[in-house]
Structure formats: C-alpha cells, structure tokens
Structure 1
C-alpha cells in the first residue's frame, strides 16, 4: 500500500505538536488546524461541540519541613483541587500497597503512592482523613501529567495531589522526611471541545460503516507528538486516500477531543449517535505512533478470527506488531461498550509518554508510514471486502476487560449535552 505519505504526515504532525489540553484554547487551535487541512484536501467535515471541565495556570511543589528543609519540583494532578495559599501541611506516609490496610496506618497523613492511584483507594481518603497525596512517576527522570477521574471527585470530593519523580521519592525515603507541605494550584473552568468527522460514502454497501478514530488532544504542558498528533495525522492520510479511492463500505473518520481526561470526546459522540452505531461494523483506532526508536503493537477487542486476520496481514507485509487482547485505554472503549469490536494500532517509544519530552524530534515520516501503511492496508481491505473476512463478535475475556475498565471509573458515563453543531 503506497497511499500513505510519510513526509506530508510528518509536516502536518509538526504543526500539531504543541500542548493541547482538553477544552482549552490550545485544543481549539488544533481543531482549527485539522478543519483547515480537511478543507484544503477537499474533504467535507462536521463539527460537534460539547462542554467539559478543564484547568489551566497550574503550579505545584513539594516542601519538606522536618527533619530537614528542602523544596522539590512537582506537577499537579489535574482536578485534585487546590491547597490553601500557604500550602497543605501534614505528616508523610509511604504506602507500600494501595489498599485500606495501608490507609489505616496512614490516617491523617499525606500519602505517597508509586505509579497509579487506584480508584478504590481515592474513595477511602475521606474515611481515613487523608488530606492529600503524592504520586511517584516511573524511574525515567520525567514527571508524568495525570488527572483524577471526575466521577471520583464528584463522589468523594477533592484531595490535592501532585506528582514527583522517582529520585525525589527515594530521597524523601532515605532522608526520612516526616513532615511535608504540598503546594498545588490550578484554575478549573468549563471549556468547549470539538469532535470533527468526515465521511466517505460507500459505493456498494453504504449502510455498513467502518469507523476510524484518533484523538488530537494532549495532556497539559506536553506537545503530544507521539500521543497523539501521530494518530491524528495518520487518519488524515487515510481520508485523503479514500477520497481518491472510494471504498465499497462507508468509512467515517473522527478526530476526537478530550480523550486524555477520560475519553470524553468519543463518549459524547457515541451517546449522541446511538442509532448510527447500529451500522458500525468495526472501529479502527490510531493512538500513539511515529517513534523512531520504538515498537509496533495492536490491541484487539473482538474475535479470534479478527486476531488471526491482523496476524496474517502483518506477516504478509513483513511488519511485527505485538498483539494483545482486552481494553485498550483509548477512544475505542465507548464503542466496545455497545458491542462493536475494535482494532487499535500503535507504535510506541515508551518512556516519554505524557511528559514535555513527547516531541516531534522523536518521530520521522518513515516511522509514521510504518504503522500508517499497516492501518491503511487493513482499512482498505476491510472497507472493500465483499464479505468481511472475520467475525464481528467480541470474546468474553475482552468483554470482561472492558466491563472492568468501566467499573473502575476510568471511563465516566455522564449525560452529554444536546448536540451543538458547527460546520
């Protein structure tokens, strides 16, 4: 498949590689760039707006007050709340496990947790009078920008939190920090996000839809080149190709907003288009790509025959893409909850995800094309098959994985607003 222009997609990626936090002016700027590119390519598009909580003007630091004094750099955990003007002071408790047994021994103290903040632990902060928390980043020297799920905040309230790097955490432990002060500041407000779609109508089976998506927002202060300007530019290449080579089935391509704060764009789209989803046979999601140093992967939420088809296609093209099953934490999830199978294709460089180092210098056109070619080939074969070469059921283990994902609150089903369309 030679329809994917790596050089052009890389130039487009550089235009999009700036911080694009959900529902802010910067994300809206990215939406304008995507719309302008569609217009220049002669691709008609639709825009749907929705309102989302977001935040800007953030600042965070960690201050040790006893038995020594030192201030460490940190980044806020979004939506966790602001500390008092002079900071939030308490003792420090290092949790070796994220469960209620550990919380019992940390009562009244600020807790430090490694990596993920489990939702059921956050839900017990109030019970054990935990005033705030510290999340320790992976040992790669970079601070990851994270957010608390809005559903958890609504159910349990705000507990100011920040992220520190791994070495800072080790220093706190070795120097036996006992009393600390958190400083967290963010300006929360209700902003507007925009989902953008373009549709290539099928020439033979117009009522059968292959749905393609990529999110175009990023986490705060991160250029988001790999995650996910790469996916956004990839599906633009798909759209250009399909415009010149109309498929047998209808293909809808969607640039989703606000993925990073809980799949908000794709959720809003799915809720607004429930009737339309009955026509969707499969979702192809492009999320993370282009890394010069990295590896290819595929996540399948579907049938064994779909897995076999992807495996065979990779072998035919001479591309290795490690295949996994389950709930890929991205915009395919809302569609999976409606029983629609999905394939997510990606190329990841790993360590710089959700950090300010996720820059375009780590990407080139050759490696955008590598996973882009695979995605376009899979898409065109699927959209042009006389009969789909795989079954459309979802394996029970994948259904359970999606259900667990939803249960854990990483996907927040709040009622969306009425449609607001802008063309």
Structure 2
C-alpha cells in the first residue's frame, strides 16, 4: 500500500454531504478492494443547505460573511450586542439583539439560553487577525443544537471584522439569508476481516473535512491507519473479527458514527471494543489514547507502551470523535491520536494539507496500532469489561447535551 498516494488522491476539500465526500468514500472502498477486502457503502441522511445569497450590513456598510447552512431564510435587523461570555448575566442582555460571539460555533445549552433570552440572530467569528488570509469557514446550524427551539439566522465573519465592529461601536446589524434546505446523504464505508468468534472489534476513522480543509491530518491520516491495519492483518487467523468503518460527516457532530450505531443497534452486543483513529502521523506531537472504558484499559495501554518502546499518554475520558457514539451505546471505546501543536499542524483551515504529514511517523504509528489491535483480536476472551464507568457516563451526558456541564 502506498501511503503517499492516499493523501495525493484525496488532496481536496470533501465536506459532509457533498459529491466530493462521496468521491473519497468510493476511493476508500476501492483501496479496501485493492487489498482484497470487500467493502460496502452505507448511506445516511444529513441536513443540507444551499446558500443562494447572504449579506451582512453593519450600520449600512456591507461586510463579508458566510451564512450558516440550515439556519433558515429571511431578513433580521437589530442592535449589535457583543457577548464574550455565555454566563447568565451576559445572556440576559441578548433580548432583541443580534449577538456577536467570540466562538466559531455554539453548543446546545448556549443556543437554548440565547433563544429563551430573545436573541434575534447570531454572528460568529473565524480566523486570525495576524494571518495574511481572511478565510471565513462555512458552518451549519446543527439539528442537535436547535432541538425544539426556533431557528434564527446565523453567519460567520472574519475575526478582523469582528474587531472592527466592536472598535467602531457599530449599532445596527442587518442580516439577510436566502437558502434552500434539503435532505442530503453522507456515507460510511464498511469493510470486514473475519474472525472465529461471533463477536468482533470495530475500528473507526472519519474521512470528511470542513469547508476549507483538505483534511490530510484531520483525518485522512486515521483512514490511512485503518488501511494499514487492514493490510497487515488481512488473511491472518483472528479470534475476534475486525470491522473497519470509515465514517462520513464527523465534522458535523459525529453523524457517521451516530448513524452506524443507530442502524446497527441489533449488533452492538457483539462489539467487544471500538478503536478509533483521529489524527496520527505528523512530524511533531505526542501520541495519546483517550479511553471511554474501564481504567484497566488505560493501564494496559501504558504497560504496552513501555513494553514496545512506543510512548503513549493514556487517560480516561470522552474524546470528541467517533469513539463517543460507541461508548454511549455501551461499547467500550477508545481513540488514538498524535496531537501536534495547532501552530504546527492546524486543523479546520487551509493549512491542513498533505505537506504536514510524515510518512515515516505515520508508518511507525500504524505499526503500533497493528500490534495493539492484534493483541485484542487474538485474545482468548476480550479482557475489557463490557461496562461504561459512571464517570464516563456523566461525561457522555454532558458531551451529548443531555446534562449541563458542571461549572
């Protein structure tokens, strides 16, 4: 398998629900088949929006913006309210205002609070005022965030423009958005290596990108990891089979892994472990494992790191990636990643391209992951308890917006 070819063949934006995302899904299916492993593509629904027109006027002067997909259509006008915090005192001032936040997005409870306070619209900001480019990311107003509340118009502006709005004490904002919303499709690619037992291990990695990124680090690197594991373990006798799932639409709220867990609910009892790969193989950065399972697995990974001479920082918790829906479904899960500084390998922007990747480090990461996977695939009985600790359940409730995070 040619690792470099994987990155060269996917060196373009392939965001959720687009024809480019499907193109990469078909490429990954083809890569599996070249390795002699049958793969299939499973479709699932994603909410999509086609922005026809969007304008943002600050005291009558138009400034560049990108409206959020799926935030509705129409025109809203009101007083600008810069709100750097989401505390109750700050939120109380949002009534009948167009709210400017310091963030690129908003969580469920933050959105619910703003709607209950009577906010008329929301402006987010993206970018770095010191960078030469003035990119604005394309985001969506997620169904999971809106819940049962009303939709309001939302738009992203560049951070340099946000500074100007505040510096110039802009009073009035007018936001115009016109779009067509529709049900689109995203896809998971599913391949399998058989085992002796009826139970199996699921390995996951997402392949979609954000609207500006080519997604080499985040996360074609994880997909290359899955293909590397497949290449080294295909044809070997395994006690537990391996099901490899390349997930679509992770960047829009883990939609691919959520769809897989939902659509394969009857099989969850047969999954003994989920191993997720999200961002590996960079020149710099430490290798980490985040375990949403019993603490014994954290210790096991630390011991294996010492045994193999491959440093891993292992901890328990909930990781913001495709391991989370599996853990929420009762499957012991963990994510591996090589975390590099955002000043070296930034994600969700134009700088996430193949040049940030080290093929040598990626191969070393894959070799460790093969050893780890093979240990569990050949276990007489999977040693990881099939129970999610209470502290992890609490974190899952907070991450998935079922409970507010304790301050």
TM range (shorter): 0.7 to 0.9
**Deviation by residue 1:282-338 (Cα, 9 ceiling, x = unmatched):** 100011233334332221101111001111222333333333322212222221122
Asked whether 1:111 is paired with 2:95, we answer: no
Q: CA 1:409–1:288 in structure 2 vs 1: closer, same or farther (change >3 Å)?
A: farther
The offset of 1:165, in angstroms, is: 3.7
CA contact (8 A) 1:212 1:254 kept: yes
Asked whether 1:230 is paired with 2:218, we answer: no
Asked whether 1:317 is paired with 2:311, we answer: no
Q: CA 1:173–1:362 in structure 2 vs 1: closer, same or farther (change >3 Å)?
A: same
Asked whether 1:151 is paired with 2:139, we answer: no
TM-score by length of 1: 0.85
TM-score by length of 2: 0.88
The offset of 1:228, in angstroms, is: 1.5
Q: CA 1:48–1:341 in structure 2 vs 1: closer, same or farther (change >3 Å)?
A: same
Q: CA 1:184–1:378 in structure 2 vs 1: closer, same or farther (change >3 Å)?
A: farther
Aligned mate of 1:404, from 370, 383, 398: 398
Counterpart in 2 of 1:250? Answer: 241
**Deviation by residue 1:34-76 (Cα, 9 ceiling, x = unmatched):** 111122221112332222212345775644227xx4x444433
* Equivalence map 1:54-203=2 (5 Å): 54-57=48-51, 62-65=56-59, 69=61, 71-84=62-75, 88-115=76-103, 116-137=105-126, 139=128, 141=131, 143-184=136-177, 186-203=179-196
Which 5+ residue runs of structure 2 have no aligned equivalent?
Answer: none
The offset of 1:194, in angstroms, is: 2.1
The offset of 1:91, in angstroms, is: 1.5
The offset of 1:212, in angstroms, is: 0.4
In structure 2, distance between residues paired with 1:268 and 1:98: 31
Which 5+ residue runs of structure 1 have no aligned equivalent?
Answer: 411-423
CA contact (8 A) 2:272 2:382 kept: no
Counterpart in 2 of 1:304? Answer: 295
In structure 1, distance between residues paired with 2:332 and 2:366: 20
The offset of 1:110, in angstroms, is: 0.7
In structure 2, distance between residues paired with 1:292 and 1:406: 33
Question: What RMSD, in angstroms, separates the aligned Cα atoms of the two structures?
Answer: 2.6
In structure 2, distance between residues paired with 1:58 and 1:213: 35
CA contact (8 A) 2:25 2:41 kept: no
**Deviation by residue 1:232-279 (Cα, 9 ceiling, x = unmatched):** 121011112121323221111111222222222222221222221111
